[in-house]
Amino acid sequence: MTTQLIALSIALGVVNIVIAGAVVLNRLVARYSDRRYRRAVEQVRPIVLSAIAGDAVSLGVRSRIELLATGDLLAKYGRNLSGDGRVHVNELAERSGVIDALVRGSQSRRSWKRAACVYRLGDLGRNQAELLIVRLSDSDRRVRNAAARSLGKQRCTEGVRPIAYAFGRGTIARAVGAQALIDIGPPAADALARLLSSGPVLVQAGAAELLGRLGTVSHSSLLAEAMDHHDPEVRVAAVRALGRIGARSAAARILPVLGDPVPFVRSAAATALGALGSRDAIDALTVMAESDEYLPARAAAESAVLLGGRFPDPGPHLREAIRMSEVTA
């Protein structure tokens, strides 16, 4: 037994030396790779910048590291450019083979690689709606998120419905799905309006919430109908959306929601009325601020003060709201 233990300790000692060696080696390799990469970036950057300026340039035959640097630079510029600059970035990305490499990578067996390539496709190249929509059903969540993000970045209107469904089903991060739809812009609003009328409850709530960001006054009546929905999440989302869209005519429809049985729906209604500048609601809000439970009372007081109400004998919530408005003015 003693002999085996001695052998084990020697073996573990060797493992320690290997691990420590790996640490040192990794640092050396990383330094070397970083230096090579930086050098490649410096070599490629002028060509990329010329291409963005519209010059007819060619990358020529390049090493793997230079191709990687080109992809990184193009993605960086592509993310922040629009108009001609973006078109030129796309052309160079196509010509240099970066897009083909990303498309191949998006079908890799390794999920992290698929996700990275799908993510980058959003910043570069031609419309890849078909590929990205397929990746929206990928088995890996990171890939699905990246696909939604890229569909948004490429403003693919074909992606609205699949993103909205993935958003509603929770197969992509809500924040990412929402931002993708916002990036697609107004074309997403009508698809969302359809989902609000017919999708499952989670989808309806999400659709209402996003309509508040993308919708116009023309969507007010649909959102007003949603305020009668049996699910409080949908009601709250609809009330908030109406407040954000700023349809003054909606105030009359929101006023009765101050009597909703669910406190957070009442709070949202009070806040929306404040946001809509509906002075007709001041009296109702004041009553609510004095008599409701904490959360809706606080929201009502804040809105009543925001709307410029006069309170001869304010209660604690109103006093708090008045003082806060003075301090933060």
Partner 1 sequence: MSLVEISGVVVLVYFVVLNLSYASFTVVAWRSLVAHRRSQDSLTSDEVFRSPLTPPVSILLPAFNEAAGVVESVRSLLQLRYPEFEMIVVDDGSTDDTLKALTEAFNLVEVEKVTPPGLSFAPIRRVLVSAKHPELSVISKQNGGKADALNCGLTFGRFPYVCAVDADAILEPDALLRVMSPIIDDRSVVAAGGIVRIANGCEVDHGNVTRVGLPRSPLPTMQVVEYLRAFLVGRVGWGELRALLIISGAFGVFKRSVVMSVGGYSTDTVGEDMELVVRMHRQLRRSGTAYRVAFVPDPVAWTEAPETLAVLGRQRRRWQRGLMETLWRHRGIVVDRRQGILAWLAVPYYVLFEVLGPLVELFGYVVVPIAGAWGVLDIEFVIAFFAVSVVWGVMLSVSAVALEELTFRRYPLRREVLRLAWYALIDNFGYRQLTTWWRLHGIVEFLRGRKDWGVMPRRGFGSREVRSS
* Residues contributing to the site for partner 1 (CB under 8 A): 1-2, 5-6, 8-9, 12-13, 15-16, 19-20, 22-24, 26-27, 30, 112-113, 115-116, 118-120, 141-143, 145-146, 149, 152, 170, 173-180, 182, 209, 213, 293-295, 298, 316-317, 319-320, 323-324, 327-328
- If the CB atoms of residues 58 and 325 are measured against partner 1, the closer one turns out to be 325
Residues for the chain: how many in total?
A: 329
- If the CB atoms of residues 47 and 115 are measured against partner 1, the closer one turns out to be 115
Cβ 242 vs Cβ 253: under 8 Å: yes
Residue 5 CB, nearest approach to partner 1 (Å): 4
- If the CB atoms of residues 205 and 284 are measured against partner 1, the closer one turns out to be 205
- If the CB atoms of residues 9 and 107 are measured against partner 1, the closer one turns out to be 9
Residue 252 CB, nearest approach to partner 1 (Å): 26
Residue 197 CB, nearest approach to partner 1 (Å): 21
Residue 290 CB, nearest approach to partner 1 (Å): 12
- 277, amino acid identity: G
Residue 32 CB, nearest approach to partner 1 (Å): 13
Cβ 240 vs Cβ 213: under 8 Å: no
- If the CB atoms of residues 50 and 179 are measured against partner 1, the closer one turns out to be 179
Q: Which residue has the tokens 């929306």?
A: 272
Determine the Cα–Cα distance for residues 234 and 210; give it in Å rounded to an integer. 12
